[in-house]
Amino acid sequence: MIVKSYTGDYEADFYSDFSFFEELKEKKNKFFIVDQKVFSLYREQLSALIGDDLCYILEAVEENKNVNMALEIIEQMVEMHSKRNTLLVAIGGGIIQDVSAFIANVLYRGISWVLIPTTLLAQTDSCIGSKSSLNFKQYKNLMGYFYPPTQIYINTKFIHTLEQKDYFSGLGEIMKCAIMDGFESFKETNSNMEGLLVRDEDKLLKEITKALNFKKRVIEIDEFDKEYRNIMNFGHTFGHALESTSNYAIPHGQGVSFGMMLANRISYERGYISQDMLEELNGAIEKIVMQELLKAEYFSSDTYLKVLKKDKKFTGKLHTCILFDGDGVKRHSDITDEEIMDSIKKFFKFGDAR
């Protein structure tokens, strides 16, 4: 797949093995940033790729996704004589990607980097689209720019070692793109759900490709997220708030899944979708939401609405979010506190809702 960007075209290629390591081994002056867990799980294969090259092993936790960590890695790169011709190789999920993209963007005003995404979320969503985002204090994804890799190598074998919550997190993004593309597209993806739930590789490859193609269509119109790309935030306003009230115990894609269910409930209450449609959509999403992660205290109006009101799109009275109407999604900027809490109450039976 070729993606058009302001930096030029870049490619995302699919593999079911590590054969692309041979191509990478040929490249000179590499510096690796590797997810700690991935390094220990795939030590043998990765050691053969990394050889004597320089490598920073990074623990993939949100606390490490900040400018201090980026500076620490930059310091090491500079001390190890990295130059403008250094090729940064990032191996990991969204956290490793975000830190690596930031470093590649600012070091010597931009060095080349390539990405080997190892989570389903990164393979299906974040690997294209150019965004780099670092957290600042309690604010998530506050800093960053748009700086895509020159090449993405997607090996679906990595998916098999993901913990269930991280796997379901990626399925949430697959479901998001499927729904945004219309109800027929959702039904097609939902018909593959049985295979997806057991990590069937053929089904996964099909759905990863479908989701990336959808995202490609959007980002090629609005790479810098000025307006149209905003629709990709379906499920995100409510999802980010849940990530925050759970202090990031809820992974990103799980938050998005919850957020889509809540948004669909509001769509139904407003008459945008029928009850049958609501039940079919949310019945499917429910299968990939790990209910045991959701705690009542995350949803009390005190905590949940307070966090929602910190959203940059909150106008002082009304919330903005993306809602599905059966054909696709649209932005709505007139969502009230009551609608949100009523929908939580009717559907989720959490917090104030009990």
Ligand X SMILES: NC(=O)c1ccc[n+]([C@@H]2O[C@H](COP(=O)([O-])OP(=O)(O)OC[C@H]3O[C@@H](n4cnc5c(N)ncnc54)[C@H](O)[C@@H]3O)[C@@H](O)[C@H]2O)c1
Residues within the interface to ligand X (CB under 6 A): 35, 37-38, 41, 60, 62, 65, 92-98, 118-119, 121-122, 125-126, 129, 131, 133, 141, 158, 161-162, 166, 169, 251-252
CB of 353 to ligand X, least distance (A): 27
Nearer to ligand X by Cβ, of 311 and 342: the residue is: 311
Reduced to 3 states (helix: H, G, I; strand: E, B; else coil), residue 270 is coil
- What is the rounded distance in angstroms from the CA atom of residue 129 to the CA atom of residue 98? 12
Rounded to an integer, what distance in angstroms lies between the CA atom of residue 97 and that of residue 95? 5
Q: Give me the least distance between CB of 256 and ligand X, in Å please.
A: 9
Distance CA(351)–CA(47), nearest Å, equals: 48
Beta-bridge partners for 134: 143
Q: How far is the CB of 81 from ligand X (least distance, A)?
A: 28
Nearer to ligand X among residue 129 and residue 351 (C-beta) = 129
Taken in order 295, 296, 297, 300, the sign of the CA dihedral is: positive
* Least Cβ distance, residue 192 to ligand X (angstroms): 21
Which residue is at the shortest CB distance from ligand X? 94
- In single-letter form, the type of residue at position 108 comes to Y
β-strands 2-3, 10-15 pairing: antiparallel
Closest approach, Cβ 280 to ligand X, in A, equals 26
How far is the C-alpha of 123 from the C-alpha of 35, rounded, in Å? Answer: 15
Give the single-character DSSP code of 132: -
Of 66 and 343, nearer to ligand X (C-beta) is 66
Smallest distance from the beta carbon of 94 to ligand X, in angstroms?
2
Between 48 and 296, whose beta carbon lies closer to ligand X?
48
DSSP 192: T
CB nearer ligand X, residue 165 or residue 270: 165
| Closest to ligand X by CB, 225 or 342 | 225
50-74: string of b/e by CB count within 10 Å (b at 16+)? beebbbbebebeeebbbbebbeebb
